[in-house]
C-alpha cells in the first residue's frame, strides 16, 4: 500500500493529485501511511496542499499526517500551500502545528514562498505565527529578496516593518536591492534605499545592484543608484 516509485511516489499521492476523496479514504483505511516520503511532492500532505483541496488536507491530518515532514519540490506542505496561495490550507496547517520556519525546498521557507507569490494575507498570517523574516537560504535568499524580485511592494513594506534586513546577502541575486534593480521595480528600489540598503554590496548573479540594473538596462534605476552613491568601478 505504501510502495514507492514513479513521479508521485505512492498510490496515495496519485489519488491526491486526482483529488479523489473516496479513493484517498479507502487507501488510508487500508493502511496507506500518509507520512511515507517520495515522489515529486515528497509527502501526501504536500500533494494535497498543492492540489488546493482543504478536505483532503483535513482528512490526512486527521489520519496522522505530520505537517512538518520535509521533502519534495516544495519542502513542506506549508510551503506548498503558501506558494499556491491557498490561504485556507495555510490556516489549517498552522492550526495543526505546522512550523513556519522549517527550511527546505524550492522557496526554502513558507514566508519566502508567500512573498514570491505575492499573497499579503498569507505573509501577514505567517509573520503573526512568528515566521522569521530574515531566514536565509534557497534560490531567492530571503523573503525580502523574493518579494523585491516579484515586485510585491506591499509585502516588501510589511517585511521591512517586521525587521527584515535589506542587506542580507544570499540567493541568486545577492540582496533585495539587486533583485529589485534587475527586475526593474523602481518603487521597491526607492524604498529599500530609504531603509538603509547598501548600494555597493557585492554578491549574487550580477555582482552589484548597479550591474543588475544595467543588465536590461533600466535607466531610471541606474540614475537613482548613481545618485545614491553607487560606485561604477566596483568589480
Q: Given phi > 0 = left and psi -120 to 50 = alpha, else beta, which region is 52?
A: left
pTM value surpassing 0.75: yes
Residues near 233 by beta carbon (within 8 Å), at least 6 away in sequence: none
Give the least confident one: 15-19, 62-66, 115-119, 227-231. 15-19
Q: How confident is the model at residue 42 (pLDDT cuts 50, 70, 90)?
A: confident
State residue 7's pLDDT score.
60
Contact 101, 135 (CB under 8 A): yes
Phi, psi of 207, deg, nearest 5? 90, -60
State residue 227's pLDDT score.
98
Mean of pLDDT values over 32-49: 87
State residue 21's pLDDT score.
84
Determine whether domain 70-227 maps to CATH 2.30.110.10: no
Rounded percentage of the chain residues whose pLDDT exceeds 90: 77
pLDDT at 131 over 80: yes
Amino acid at each position: 500500500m505504501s510502495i514507492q516509485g514513479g513521479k508521485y511516489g505512492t498510490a496515495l499521492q496519485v489519488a491526491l493529485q486526482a483529488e479523489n476523496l473516496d479513493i484517498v479514504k479507502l487507501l488510508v483505511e487500508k493502511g496507506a501511511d500518509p507520512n511515507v516520503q517520495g515522489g515529486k511532492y515528497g509527502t501526501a500532505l504536500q500533494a494535497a496542499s498543492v492540489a488546493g483541496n482543504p478536505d483532503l488536507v483535513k482528512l490526512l491530518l486527521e489520519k496522522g499526517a505530520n505537517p512538518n515532514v520535509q521533502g519534495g519540490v516544495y519542502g513542506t506542505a506549508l510551503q506548498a500551500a503558501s506558494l499556491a496561495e491557498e490561504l485556507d490550507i495555510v490556516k489549517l496547517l498552522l492550526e495543526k502545528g505546522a512550523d513556519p520556519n522549517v527550511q527546505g525546498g524550492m522557496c526554502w521557507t513558507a514566508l519566502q514562498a508567500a512573498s514570491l507569490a505575492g499573497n499579503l494575507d498569507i505573509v501577514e498570517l505567517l509573520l503573526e505565527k512568528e515566521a522569521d523574516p530574515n531566514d536565509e537560504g534557497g534560490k531567492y535568499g530571503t523573503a525580502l529578496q523574493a518579494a523585491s524580485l516579484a515586485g510585491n511592494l506591499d509585502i516588501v513594506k510589511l517585511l521591512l516593518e517586521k525587521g527584515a534586513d535589506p542587506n542580507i546577502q544570499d540567493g541568486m541575486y545577492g540582496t533585495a536591492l539587486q533583485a529589485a534593480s534587475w527586475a526593474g521595480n523602481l518603487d521597491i528600489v526607492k524604498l529599500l534605499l530609504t531603509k538603509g540598503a547598501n548600494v555597493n554590496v557585492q554578491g549574487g548573479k550580477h555582482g552589484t545592484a548597479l550591474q543588475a540594473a544595467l543588465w536590461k538596462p533600466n535607466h531610471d534605476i541606474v540614475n537613482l543608484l548613481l545618485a545614491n552613491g553607487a560606485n561604477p568601478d566596483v568589480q
